[in-house]
Amino acid sequence: MAESDSSRPWVPQQLVDFYDEHAARYRKLAPREFESEVAKMLAQHERFMDHECISLYAGTNIMNPRAVRFMSSSVSSRPSLGYPGDKYETGLGYAEQIEIMAVEILKRIFKCRYVEFRVGSGSLANLYAYIACTKPGDRIMVLPASAAGHVTHQTEGAAGLYGLEVHPIPFDGVRMEVDLIGLEREAKRLRPRLIILGGSLALMPYPVQATRKLADELGAYLMFDAAHLSGIIAGGKFQQPLVEGAHLMTCSTYKSFGGPVGGLVLTNEPHIAERLDRIAYPGLTANFDLARIAALVIAASDILEFGPGYASTCIDNARALATALAEREAPVHGPAERGYTLSHHVALRVANYGGGTTASRLLERANLLTSGIGLPLPEVPGDYNGLRMGTQEVTRWGMLPQDMQVVAELLYRVLVGREEPERVKGEVMAFRSRFQELRFVNG
């Protein structure tokens, strides 16, 4: 943002005011004063997020401290163009081994043949997939935003920016499952080039095998977006999309995976892998942060060693949290007969609580971190109608299913019981203080 945002009329005025209020001070800082300011902000952030909050935000996690240390390596500033063994830059004989390690360990935990690891984010991984499998003007079918389809699948996101024609996959909002009959009918009418399963909220598995059969009939590709599910998929406790028939799978490397921010594209198809390779280099990625890849290797080694136990506990915690909330008559969304969720995600219907963003900001005042999400239900004007939670981080901090009773009670008191968040905040912090050592990571 510029010093004066009068040239950006699309930015809401309250955000311009917020920015200017804080920027005014930073504009006056001497060069050497910035270090102490950054250090102070980071320390306050880490104390709050890592030690004082119950983080149920589905799009985050805490990383192994050993991986964090690798991210500060000087290799971070070294470019790395080309294949290991034939780098454009000289002097990378040691560093290029990190790339080989990353590919091999990721292939092991995801049970796939090809890994594109140089991607900066899960959103960019989706763009890579679009370029590899489609051309501008092609039709694609995706979960709509109302069914938690990610923005990169939508017209306003990467799919639309690349020029794809986006059509919704019919979805059963009560059972939180794809409407296969509707999908087959619409796909045969539209004849899409790409069908995408997966989104930002996944309570139930997706029909990968049946959709692959349909894709083959139509000459289409099937992509699975595992941005939120990569950790529990790699842990072997959720469905295995590539084994079940997806042509390719995109991932985030943080969220349930627990690594640094980044993305992956995985496939067993040589022709897709070749296209992805050329998109990455010399195409869109070129240079990338090798220190991030070093941290990714450590995160993947955690999954290799602890993945099944971690994934199982994440799912057990989510089911325990959903059940405990339902017992308190909180509006849990999902099929009750299946325990509301088969993943590490939990969803609440919050149209009667002002919407998902409103609810999440209320809970934040009590140090309970969540987020809004679209559910296939009547909408809330100007807000999401759902509240999304994930158990991936609290599981790493050592919480178990029995602890979800306490978490559910704290959530209930603020959201449903309308208790003042500041009155509950102290109890949240006291409870959180009991969980300060990481589990499921190499110590």
Looking at residue 7, what is its pLDDT?
Answer: 64
Name the H helices within 27-71.
34-47, 65-70
For residue 86, the SS3 value is: strand
Q: Is the pLDDT of residue 99 over 70?
A: yes
Q: In the structure encoding, which two tokens stand for residue 20, read together?
A: 């200017």
Asked whether residue 15 is domain-assigned, the answer is no
Structure token pair of residue 98: 């990190």
Distance of CA 251 to the CA centre of its chain: 8
Tell whether 316 and 291 lie within a shared domain.
Answer: no
Q: Are 259 and 279 part of one and the same domain? A: yes
Rama region for 339: left / alpha / beta (φ>0; ψ in -120 to 50; rest): left
Distance CA 394, CA 385 (A): 24
- Residue located via tokens 């270090």: 35
Q: Assess if residue 28 is contained within a domain.
A: no
Same structural domain for residues 127 and 100? Answer: yes
2 lies in some domain? no
**Mean pLDDT of all residues in 244-269:** 98
Q: What is the CATH number for 75?
A: 3.40.640.10
Cα 164 to Cα 139: distance, rounded to the nearest angstrom: 6
Note whether residue 111 is domain-resident: yes
- In this structure, the answer to whether residues 357 and 263 fall within a common structural domain is no
- The answer for residues whose C-beta is within 8 angstroms of residue 121's C-beta and 6 or more apart is 252, 261, 262, 263
Q: What is the mean pLDDT of residues 385-411?
A: 98
In a domain, 33, yes or no: no
Last residue within a domain, chosen from 253, 270, 300: 300
Residues 237 and 328 in one domain: no
d(CA 247, CA 209): 11
Tell me: the pLDDT tens digits for 368-382?
A: 999 999 998 877 777
Please tell me the total count of domains within the chain. Answer: 2
Query: Among the three residues 277, 300, 323, which one is the final residue of a domain in this structure?
Result: 300
In a domain, 32, yes or no: no
127 burial class (0-12, 13-18, 19+ CB within 10 angstroms)? buried
Q: Give the 3-state secondary structure percentages of the chain, helix then strand then coil, rounded to 5.
A: 50, 15, 35
CB 362 within 8 A of CB 356: no
Same domain, 186 and 290: yes
The pLDDT tens digits of the residues spanning 157-176 come to 999 999 999 999 999 999 99
Section 380-402 average pLDDT: 94
Contact 116, 276 (CB under 8 A): yes
Let me know if residue 230 belongs to a domain: yes
Q: What is the pLDDT of residue 379?
A: 74
Helix, strand, or coil (residue 154) = coil
What residues make up the domain containing 335? 306-432
| Mean pLDDT value of segment 174-196 | 97
Same-domain status, 147 and 281: yes
134 & 150 share domain:
yes
Instruction: State yes or no: pLDDT of 3 exceeds 80.
Output: no
**Does residue 79 sit in the same domain as residue 205?**
yes
Looking only at the bridges linking them, the beta strands covering 171-172 and 177-178 are antiparallel
Contact by Cβ (8 Å): 263, 251:
yes
Res 377: pLDDT? 84
Q: What is the mean pLDDT of residues 201-224?
A: 98
Per-residue pLDDT band at 8 (split at 50, 70, 90): confident
Helices (H), 147-289: 158-162, 180-190, 208-218, 230-234, 241-244, 270-278
Residues 179 and 71 in one domain: yes
285-302: per-residue pLDDT in tens?
878 999 999 999 999 999
Please give the Cα distance from 215 to 421 (Å, whole number). 49
Angle 246-251-256 from CA coordinates, rounded to 5°:
120
**Final residue before a domain boundary, out of 282, 300, 318:** 300
Q: 325-362, pLDDT tens digit by residue?
A: 999 999 999 999 999 999 999 999 999 999 999 999 99
Q: Do 285 and 389 belong together in one domain?
A: no
Task: Give the chain's mean pLDDT.
Answer: 96
Secondary structure (3-state) at 341: coil
Residue 259 pLDDT > 60: yes
pLDDT tens digits, one per residue of 402-440 = 999 999 999 999 999 999 999 999 999 999 999 999 999
In 3-state terms, what secondary structure has residue 379? coil
Q: Is the pLDDT of residue 5 over 90?
A: no
Q: What CATH number is attached to the domain comprising 390? A: 3.90.1150.10
Residue-level pLDDT at 1: 46
Specify if 295 maps to a domain. Answer: yes
Mark whether 286 and 311 lie in a shared domain: no
